[in-house]
Amino acid sequence: MGSQIRERVRVLVKDMKKVLLGGSFSRKMYNYSMEFVYIGFGWLLGLLAPALTKRIVDHYEKQNLEKIIFNDLKDLKKRLGSIPYLVYPKHGKLNQDIFNWIKKNSSIDFDTGLKQLAEQGLTETQIINHLNITGKQDVTTTYFKKVNLFATDSHLTKLSLIENSLMEKILEIKFHAQALNEDIDSFRDDLKMTFMPGITVENHRIVSAEINKKSLMIAKKSMFIVDKINEILSSREGSTGN
Is the pLDDT confidence value at 14 over 70? no
CB atoms within 10 A of CB 202: 8
pLDDT band at 176 (very low <50, low <70, confident <90, very high): very high
Return d(Cα 9, Cα 5) in angstroms, integer: 6
pLDDT band at 4 (very low <50, low <70, confident <90, very high): low
Is the pLDDT confidence value at 172 over 90? yes
Least confident range from 15-19, 142-146, 210-214: namely 15-19
In this predicted model, which residue has the larger pLDDT, 214 or 15? 214
In this predicted model, which residue has the larger pLDDT, 138 or 8? 138
Residue 116 lies in a domain: no
Task: Judge whether 180 and 225 are in contact, CB under 8 Å.
Answer: yes
Q: What pLDDT is stored for residue 39 in this prediction?
A: 61
Task: Judge whether 218 and 188 are in contact, CB under 8 Å.
Answer: no
Residue 190 lies in a domain: yes
Domain residue limits at 71: 61-81+141-241
Residues 43-56: what's their mean pLDDT? 60
Residue 192 lies in a domain: yes
Residue 11 lies in a domain: no
How many distinct structural domains can be found in the chain? Answer: 1
Residue 49 lies in a domain: no
CB atoms within 10 A of CB 54: 10
Residue 53 lies in a domain: no
In this predicted model, which residue has the larger pLDDT, 62 or 134? 134
Averaged pLDDT score across all residues of the chain: 81
Return d(Cα 192, Cα 16) in angstroms, integer: 91
Question: What proportion of the chain, given as a percentage, has pLDDT over 70?
Answer: 73
**CATH number for the domain that contains residue 161:** 1.20.5
Q: What pLDDT is stored for residue 229 in this prediction?
A: 96
Residue 180 lies in a domain: yes
In this predicted model, which residue has the larger pLDDT, 178 or 57? 178
Is the pLDDT confidence value at 25 over 60? no
Residues 68-87: what's their mean pLDDT? 94
In this predicted model, which residue has the larger pLDDT, 205 or 237? 205
Residues 6+ apart with CB under 8 A from 92: 132, 133, 135, 136
Residue 113 lies in a domain: no
pLDDT band at 72 (very low <50, low <70, confident <90, very high): very high
pLDDT band at 221 (very low <50, low <70, confident <90, very high): very high
